[in-house]
Amino acid sequence: MSNVTTGNFQRIVLASRPKGEVKVDNFRLETVPVPELKDCEVLVRNHFLSLDPYMRMRMEDAKSYAAPQAIGETMIGGTVGEIVATKNPKFALGDKVVGMLGWAEMGVSDGVLLRKVDTTHIPLSAYLGSVGMPGMTAWYGLTQIMQAKEGETIVVSAASGAVGSVVGQLAKLRGCRAVGIAGGAEKCAYVVNELGFDACIDYKAGNLQAELAAATPNGIDAVFENVGGEIFDACLARMNAFGRIALCGMIAGYDGEPLPIKNTRVLLTMRLTMRGFIVSEHMDLWPQGLKELGTLVATGKLKFRESVAPNLAAAPEAFLGLLKGKNFGKQLVKLN
């Protein structure tokens, strides 16, 4: 049941912990031998690597929801690829799988955390985006925390990104008014014209509060927050009574910048509910969410866009760009 694969492959490890902004020097590209498989293990040739904001927090040696990324070890990351050698009866050569094999061209797994996927109607890369962790993050935040209802106004920051783009489209399918916030006229045009949001505000244009007020004439019922800082503060000021906030990310502060919020009083006066969440802690809901997301992508009702770095060596620069909003849509790295 096995196919012997020998040779070397490349991986990227965390070389040092960042002080302030992440630098390319915090990473190191290594060439390592393909390991010999043990019983019940499989060897996966990764086709794509997912780059995500959460990786920045994992680079810190600080208390968080998960253990810090170890120095000298393969950087954590979601991958999709193909089984090229197997000693596990549950997996056959050629199976396409989603896993967490990190910043590496290949990886070994015991199969426990691998998920087989069907690429007949859904592109393999989409399983790292709209039909993967980012899509589930959007689905969970919208359905379980924001509890968006028909006729309500929802606002999502980083609206052109892998998560935010799905939030707005799912909200529209549920009859909501969807307002996005993104950086730059091109991204805002995409959010409205391609994704179908009702409005999108360019926070870089310098008129955030006035434009947000104009786009939410009836106030805001629910917020999906990816950014924090000034953008989150502006949304708080527009919240309606009993509004809900899904706190997904605070990327504006990931390099250590303070994120002062002036409108905290609104949490009390508007009787708001705000909840942070980590989608991997809610695996019981993944089958339900992925079924909806997969059907929508396969039928063309859920659109997505990808930024693809050409090879593993380009991953650090692509990650730095992601943290500064230079990517457009889901940031991937092509590995094969």
Residues 128-175: tens digit of each pLDDT: 999 999 999 999 999 999 999 999 999 999 999 999 999 999 999 999
pLDDT at position 3 is 55
Q: Which of 265, 270, 275, 172 is nearest to 219 (CA)?
A: 270
Q: What is the pTM of this model?
A: 0.92
SS3 243: strand
Per-residue pLDDT tens digits for 95-130? 999 999 999 999 999 999 999 999 999 999 999 999
All structural domains of the chain, each given as residue ranges with its CATH number in brackets, are: 8-129+305-334 (3.90.180.10), 133-280 (3.40.50.720)
pLDDT tens string 54-83? 999 899 988 777 789 999 999 999 999 999
| E strand intervals along the chain | 8-14, 27-33, 42-50, 79-86, 96-99, 106-109, 115-116, 153-157, 177-182, 199-202, 220-225, 239-247, 273-276, 306-309, 330-334
Contacts of 321 (CB under 8 A, 6+ apart): 327, 331
Structure tokens at 308: 């693809």
